[in-house]
Amino acid sequence: MYVFYEDDGSFKAGNILSETDTSLQVESESGKRSKIKRANTLFNFAAPEPAALMREAAALAEDIDLAFLWECAPQEEFDAPVLAADYFGHAPSAVEQAALLMRLHGAPVYFHRRGKGHYRPAPPDILQAALAALEKKQRQAEQQQTWVDAMAQGTLPEEIGQMAESLLVRPDKNTMQWKALDAACARLQKSPDRLLLELGAWPNALALHKQRFLAVNFPRGVGFPDISLPAVTQELPLADAEIYSIDDVTTTEIDDALSVTRLPDGRVRVGIHVAAPGLAVTRGSDLDKLARQRLSTVYMPGDKIPMQPDSVIQTFSLDAGREVPALSLYVTADPATGEIIASDTRVERIVVRENLRHNQLDTQVTEAALADPDAPLPYGHWLRPLWQLAQSLSAQREIIRGKPENNSRVEYSFYLDGDPDNPDTPVRLVPRQRNAPLDRMVAEYMILANNLWGGLLHQHGVPGIYRSQQAGRVRMSTQALPHEAIGVPQYAWSTSPLRRYVDLVNQWQLIAAVENGVSARLVAPFKPKDADLFAIIGAFDAQYAAWADFQNAMERYWCLRWLRQQNISRSVAHVLRDDLVRLGNAPLVTRVGGLPELERGAAVEIDIMGMDELALELDCRYLGPA
C-alpha cells in the first residue's frame, strides 16, 4: 500500500512500511525512510507505484484549465476529492486526485488553502486584481530579460543608462533596472561599474570617477547659491611691511604671505600674514553654513571644488597690489639661534607686493645662493633673513623631535595642458624636492604660526581645534597637546582659512582673543566645552579623509594617463615592502608580480604590461635589479 502526503509544503508519495494511530513509516523511491504524521497524509492508493503516480499526476495537472476549474468549484470552502469527482465526472483515480491537489496547491491566486485537502476559490475581485498583478510581473520579467540580453550583447538599454549614476551610488535593489543590471553582471562576471562603463554609460573612466564622487558628495552640484558678502566695517590699520606670498603657479586661494624686517640689534621681525575671511564669514551665517557643508576645498589635478564662494575668495585672497584684511603674527627673533623674543598678533590691512611662484623661483633659490650674500638671488634682501631664521627654527624642532625630518622624497606637481575632463589632455608631472628652500621656509613659518596661535588661544582660555600627535597617534581635539612629529607644544591649524574650515573656526577664536584679551573666552564664537566644536572635529576628520582619497585617486588616474601618453612600458622602481614598489619617474605605488624578497629602497626594473583606469591599477612584472 502506498500513501500520498504533504511534507514541507510539497506533495510526495511513498511505500508504507508500518503505521500507528498517529504516524506512518514511509520509504521513498530513493530508499530513504521517513516518519510522517498521519495528519499530513491525504490518501492511500494501491496503484500505480509512487514514482509513476507523481510523474503521471504532474503531467495531468498541467492540462487542468485553472480558469475553468475556478468556475466549476463551489463558492465556499470545499474538499479536494469532492471537486475532483465533479471535475472528472467520475470517482477519481489516485493519479487524478493527486493531479487536482497539485493544481490547486500550485495556484494560490485562484484557490486559497484552508487546511489539509481543503480550499476556497478566490473572490472574483481579488482574483482579477491578483491576475493583473501576475500579468504585470510577467511583463516586468520579460522586460528585465530583454535588458539583460541587450547588455550581454553589448548594448546599453536607455532605461538603464538614464539611471546609471544612481545604480552605482545609491541603488534601489527593488527596481527592474537594478535587477536587470545585477543579472547581467552575474552572467558576464563583471562589476556594475565596469559593465556600465564598457556599455558607454560614461564616455571614459575619468568621467565615471568624477561623477561617482560628485553624486555621493555633491548631489546638488558644486555651485553656490547667490549670497551677498557682508562688508568689513572695522577700521583696520594698514601694515607698513614689505610682504610677498609664495605659492604654486596654480594657486588661486592665496591664504598666507610673509614679511621680514632687519632690526638694528641683529634680530629680525618676521610677519606671517593670513587672509581674514573670518571678519565677514561669521559663525551661523549663510556663508558659514556653506563652508561647513564642504569643510575643505577639494583638490584634483587641473581642477578643484572650493570651500568658499568666489565672492569670498576674491575679496580676501592675498592678491598682490590691493589692500586686504589679514590676521598678522609678528615675531621678533634671533635668526642665529631661533629664540623667539616677542610675538604680537594684529588684525590689520596689508598690501602684498608680489605673488611669487615656486616654479619660477625654485631653480634660482638654492641653499648655496641663500648662504652666499654676494650670489645673485631674486628678492635676496627678503629671502636671506627669512631663510636664516627658518633654519634655526627647524633645528630647534629637531632637538625636540630627537631626529631630523625626512625631506628627501621627491614630490610631483600635476599640470594639465587643457580640459581636465578630457582624458586625452596632456599631463605633465613636474618633480619637486620636498626640502627645496622655498618649501621648507614657508612650511617653517606656517608651523610657527600654528604653534604660537595655538598657544595664544590656550593662554586666553579660548577653545580651539588642535592637531596633536602623541605615542604615534595623530588626532584632532580641543586640547592644546604636543605634536611630537612636528616638535611643538601645540599645533592649531590656522593659516588656510579660505580652504579649510578648521582654520576658519580657529580664526574666529583668534580674532576674539586679539580684540578682547582676557575676556575673550566670554565673547568668542565658541565657548569652552562647546559641543559644536566636537561635532566639527568629527565631521571634518571624515570629510577631509574622503577629499584626500579622491585627490589620491585622481592623481593615480593621471599618472596612468601620463605613462600611456609617454609610451612608457618599462620603468625603474624602488621597493617599499613585500611586492609593493614606487615608480622612480612618477608618484605611483603599485604591486609587482614575481618580485623577490628585497630590502626597502632597492631599485628594480619592471615591465608595465597593462593598466586599468577604472581600478586604477598597473599590471607589472619583475625583470631584475636596476
Residues 515 and 561 grouped into a single domain: no
C-beta pairs of 64-68 under 8 Å, 24+ apart in sequence: 64/99, 64/100, 64/103, 66/103, 66/107, 66/110, 67/110
pLDDT at res. 471: 82
Domain boundary among 89, 122, 155: 122
**End-of-domain residue from the set 218, 252, 267:** 218
| Alpha-helix runs per DSSP H in 295-436 | 310-316, 358-361, 367-371, 380-401
Average pLDDT for 564-589 = 93
- Which residues neighbour 91 within 8 Å (Cβ) at sequence distance 6 or greater? 85
Instruction: Report d(CA 383, CA 371) in Å as an integer.
Output: 10
pLDDT at position 16 is 93
Are residue 337 and residue 455 in the same domain, yes or no? yes
Count the neighbouring beta carbons within 10 Å of the beta carbon of residue 243. 21
Q: Is 299 found in the same domain as 326?
A: yes
Residue 232 has pLDDT above 90, yes or no: no
Using CA atoms, how far apart are residues 485 and 475, in angstroms rounded to an integer? 12
Among 495, 529, 563, identify where a domain stops.
529
Is the CB of residue 181 less than 8 Å from the CB of residue 195?
Answer: yes
DSSP secondary structure, 404-443, as one string: -----SEEEEEEESS-TT-TTS-EEEEEEETT-HHHHHHH
Q: Tell me: the pLDDT tens digits for 277-300? A: 999 999 999 999 999 999 999 999
Band of pLDDT at residue 555, cut at 50, 70 and 90: very high
Q: What is the pLDDT of residue 407?
A: 66
Looking at residue 61, what is its pLDDT?
95
Same domain? 27 vs 166: no
The helix/strand/coil state of 24 is strand
Q: Inform me whether the pLDDT recorded for 191 exceeds 90.
A: yes
Predicted confidence at residue 453, as pLDDT, reads 97
* 3-state secondary structure at position 257: strand
Give the CATH number of the domain where residue 556 resides. 2.40.50.140
Other CB atoms within 10 Å distance of the CB of residue 608: 20
Q: How many separate domains does the chain show?
A: 4
Report pLDDT digits (tens) over 456-480: 999 999 999 999 998 888 899 999 9
Tell me which residue range forms the domain holding 25: 2-122
Distances in Å between the Cα of 42 and the Cα atoms of 6, 28, 37, 45, 115 are 7, 16, 11, 10, 11
Q: Are residues 264 and 354 in the same domain?
A: yes
Average pLDDT, the chain: 92
Query: In Å, how far are 209, 331, 338, 495 from 393, measured between CA atoms?
Result: 42, 12, 5, 18
Contact status, residue 457 vs residue 513, Cβ threshold 8 Å: yes
- Asked whether residue 84 is assigned to any structural domain, the reply reads yes
Beta strands at 23-27 and 10-19: parallel, antiparallel or unpaired: antiparallel
C-alpha cell at 334: 634671533
258 and 345 inside one domain = yes
Q: Over range 410-415, report the average pLDDT.
A: 87
Question: Is 18 contained in some domain?
Answer: yes
Torsions phi, psi for 101 (to 5 deg): -60, -40
124, 87 Cβ separation under 8 angstroms: no
What is the maximum alpha-carbon separation in the chain? 125
pLDDT at 408: 65
Whole-angstrom Cα distance, residue 555 to residue 588? 9
For residues 6-31, average pLDDT: 90
Are residue 169 and residue 285 in the same domain, yes or no?
A: no
One domain, residues 260 and 334: yes
Q: What angle do CA 41, 42, 45 make, to 5 degrees?
A: 100
Asked, for residue 610, whether it belongs to a domain, the answer is yes
Chain centre distance of CA 407? 29
Answer yes or no: do 183 and 284 share one domain: no
Q: How far apart are CA 384 and CA 195, in angstroms?
A: 58
Claim to verify: residue 484 and residue 344 sit in the same structural domain: yes
DSSP category for residue 517: G
Rounded CA-CA distance 604/355 in Å is 42
Burial grade of 148 (CB within 10 A; 0-12, 13-18, 19 or more)? buried
Classify residue 228: in a domain, yes or no.
Answer: no
Percent of the chain with pLDDT over 90: 80
Left, alpha or beta for 260 (phi > 0: left; psi -120 to 50: alpha)?
A: beta
Contact 288, 300 (CB under 8 A): no
Per-residue pLDDT tens over the stretch 129-141:
988 888 888 888 8
DSSP state of 40: G
State whether 198 and 268 are in the same domain. no
Mean pLDDT across the stretch 149-167? 93
C-alpha cell at 428: 605633465
pLDDT digits (tens, 9 = 90+) for 342-386: 999 999 999 999 999 988 888 899 999 999 998 999 999 999 999
* Digit-coded pLDDT (tens) for 474-503: 899 999 999 998 999 999 999 999 999 999
**Left (φ > 0), alpha (ψ -120 to 50) or beta: where does 284 sit?**
left
Mapping DSSP onto H, E and C, the string for 546-601 reads HHHHHHHHHHHHHHHHHHHHCCCCEEEEEEEECCEEEECCCCCEEECECCCCCCCC
135 domain-assigned: no
Q: Is residue 370 part of a domain?
A: yes
Examine residue 616 and state whether it is found in any structural domain, yes or no. Answer: yes
Query: 518 and 441 share a domain?
Result: yes
Q: Is residue 417 part of a domain?
A: no
